[in-house]
Amino acid sequence: MVISEANLKKLEQLNNKKVMEYLQDAIDLCKPAKVTVITDSEEDINYVKELALKNGEESKLRMEGHTVHFDGINDQGRDKANTRYLVKEKVNWGIKVNDMLQPDGVAEVREIMDGIMEGKEMLVSFFSLGPTNSPFSQRAMQITDSAYVTHSEQILYRTGYEEFKRLNGSDDFFLFLHSAGELENGTTKNIDKRRIFIDLVENRVYTVNNQYAGNSVGLKKLAFRLAIQKANNEDWLAEHMFLMGVQGKPGRKTYFAGAFPSACGKTSTAMLPGQTIVGDDIAYLKNIDGKLKAVNVEKGIFGIIQDVNPEDDPLIYEALTTPREVIFSNVLVNDDKPYWLGMGQEVPDKGRNFSGEWYKGKKDANGKEIDYAHKNARYTIAINELANADDKVNDPNGVEVQAIVYGGRDSDTTVPVAESLSWSHGVFVGATIESETTAAILGKEGVRNHDPMANLDFLVVPLGKYVENHLKFGNNLDKAPTVYSTNYFLKGENGKYLNGKLDKKVWILWAEGRVNGEYDAIETPIGRIPKYEDLKELFKANLDYDYTVDEYNEQFSVRVGKYLEKMDRMSKIFSSVEMPESFLKELNDQVARLKATQAEHGDVVKPEVFAK
């Protein structure tokens, strides 16, 4: 027997036929040497942590509670090419989607997984996406041979063994089957056989020959795809969004949700000094009695560590440099201390990193010099370890969201902050986000990509239907949230960024004030922008900075010509997509407003022109 009496008993207590079937199938397929069932008990949780150390997936660092994990040199980001959606039938997605007929995909991945756990230990655990005992909770069963994956999930998600008991035998849960495959020096060897197959027919995921959490941790981006499908069938939203409490006037707190493509400032917005964080990556949004309520699907952060330093990210830096449970991944380790890019410290010229033993000047297989740490190196930490955790992080009823922020990354078009003219204009703004590619995705960096709602990589429903669901969702609320766009990456003519890293605090506080009726705004063709006086005051009060009229004019002039170029790109994209009428009307209206402005005022128009 690969599973002991005691472990079997833990499973039987769940009284769930589907759980037993899935496990039997996984055992028959992967052929592990041993199966261990993990409950919510401290003992079981500690067993996983110890196992990750014992099997070499993690090692201890000098500071209490800190460990390091390495992914292989070719396993440092989400693998889009090998991530495929297994579908019943091919549909017109409106976007580029890597789909595959379900029986073909299942056959392909199961062949790779046949016997993949021979000689290894299989871990079986249970989690809740969203707070437990809540109208939002979605249960998930994880089977993996990676203690690092399970350990990460224990930090990032609410344990769900007890939650599975509450299922009362129902099969309404997601299943994730993962194997890191054959390991060499602790990292996945057969990268060519890496597959991440999301089976939308059976609500389950197969992922194999990978360790990077965006590929391996079932509950993160893999569960997210299944949740998007479910949300679209049940009239709620599963979004690539942070949730935060923005502190306006003393005693006033307004909850914001925000969608930003990878590495566009999402975590650092959610972590803004003086504010509170509910979540930094994935949210479920529901209409509860006419109100927009949302929860963080997670309870931890898998964050980019680059540029976390005392100046730019003081709260995270503090949390990462004091004793508590943290997994560092793909940093440099020297003398049991972690080093990362942009940490604001001198870095040793040798150590261990994602390439193995590292020394300054080391080159990769293509002759390219290997940096001491990876750009997509990360930390994994529980939110309640942070000084700015919001008191409603685990509230089963969620928080009431009053504003949504869509953040893109472009150097030449979008103003730093603007308020959308209406809910449907806001949905349009979200659906037309553009961003440059980053290191979180394997492949080329620095290409401008269209990323609707920062969710392109995860859309498992046709784009038109997804947008229609958004429109409907907002229209069904008593009051739709106000939508803002942000762009922290606007550059001036000299090619330099126009804003400091902390300026985002001013943009967010301005939006919070607007939601609460505090500021007037200037209506422009692309939305409402702040007035100089209000920003001046906010800059002074929050950053002790004397914001000048010249800065304001450069940042908030509407670059009409550039916006029209963007609208050209959008018109091209959407010309071949089946979109709702009201969305196409927003696009046409946007173009018409911009053209009228261009005809009258030219390519770049100062705010004062619109103020008149």
Task: Kindly list the catalytic residues.
Answer: 264
Looking at 49, 78, 528, 531, which residue binds ligand SPV (CB under 6 A)?
A: 78
Contact present, 423 and 480 (Cβ < 8 Å): yes
**Beta carbon nearer to ligand SPV, 327 or 529:** 327
The reply to whether 239 sits near Mn ion by the rule CB under 5 A is no
What residues from 243 to 262 belong to the interface with ligand SPV (CB under 6 A)? 262
**In what side-by-side order are the strands of the sheet with 326-329?**
58-60, 66-69, 326-329, 378-382, 300-304
Compute CA 239 distance to the chain's CA centroid, rounded to the nearest angstrom. Answer: 9
474 binds, among Mn ion, ligand SPV, none (CB under 5 to 8 A by kind): none
Using CB under 5 A, which of the segments 280-288, 387-395, 510-518, 553-561 binds Mn ion? 280-288
**Beta carbon nearer to Mn ion, 200 or 456:** 456
C-alpha–C-alpha distance, residues 461 and 20, integer Å: 30
Nearest to 164 by CA among 137, 143, 145: 137
**Beta carbon nearer to Mn ion, 44 or 281:** 281
Provide the 10 A C-beta neighbour count for residue 137: 22
Looking at 57, 58, 199, 281, which residue binds ligand SPV (CB under 6 A)?
A: 281
Shortest Å, Cβ 454 to ligand SPV: 8
Residues in CB range of 7: below 8 A, 6 or more apart: 35, 36, 37
Using CB under 5 A, which of the segments 16-24, 281-289, 389-397, 413-421 binds Mn ion? 281-289
440 binds, among Mn ion, ligand SPV, none (CB under 5 to 8 A by kind): ligand SPV
In the numeric block, which tokens belong to residue 93?
A: 């997605």
- Residue with nearest beta carbon to Mn ion: 281
The reply to whether 302 sits near ligand SPV by the rule CB under 6 A is yes
Q: Which residue has the tokens 């009823």?
A: 397
| CB burial string 146-176: b at 16+ within 10 A, e below | bbbbbbbbbbbbbbbbebbeebeeeeebbbb
**Beta carbon nearer to ligand SPV, 196 or 285:** 196
| Residue 495: burial class (beta carbons within 10 Å; 0-12, 13-18, 19+) | exposed
**Beta carbon nearer to Mn ion, 44 or 153:** 153
Shortest Å, Cβ 454 to Mn ion: 8
The reply to whether 157 sits near ligand SPV by the rule CB under 6 A is no
The reply to whether 213 sits near ligand SPV by the rule CB under 6 A is yes
C-alpha–C-alpha distance, residues 532 and 554, integer Å: 12
Nearest to 228 by CA among 205, 200, 202, 209: 200
Shortest Å, Cβ 157 to ligand SPV: 13
C-alpha–C-alpha distance, residues 189 and 183, integer Å: 5
**Beta carbon nearer to Mn ion, 85 or 339:** 85
Using CB under 6 A, which of the segments 212-220, 269-277, 442-450, 579-587 binds ligand SPV? 212-220
Looking at 440, 459, 515, 529, which residue binds ligand SPV (CB under 6 A)?
A: 440
**Beta carbon nearer to Mn ion, 75 or 298:** 298
Three-class DSSP category at 432: coil
Specify the DSSP class assigned to residue 341. Answer: T
What residues from 217 to 246 belong to the interface with ligand SPV (CB under 6 A)? 220-221
Looking at 72, 214, 408, 607, which residue binds ligand SPV (CB under 6 A)?
A: 214
Shortest Å, Cβ 112 to ligand SPV: 22
The reply to whether 551 sits near Mn ion by the rule CB under 5 A is no
The reply to whether 281 sits near Mn ion by the rule CB under 5 A is yes
Q: Which residue has the tokens 């019943």?
A: 88
In the numeric block, which tokens belong to residue 572?
A: 């091209």
214 binds, among ligand SPV, Mn ion, none (CB under 5 to 8 A by kind): ligand SPV
Q: Is 156 left (phi over 0), alpha (psi -120 to 50) or beta?
A: alpha
| Residue 210: burial class (beta carbons within 10 Å; 0-12, 13-18, 19+) | buried
Q: Which residue has the tokens 């930094």?
A: 280
- Residue with nearest beta carbon to ligand SPV: 214
Question: Can you give the binding site for Mn ion, defined by CB under 5 A?
Answer: 281
Question: Can you give the binding site for ligand SPV, defined by CB under 6 A?
Answer: 78, 213-214, 220-221, 262, 281, 302, 440
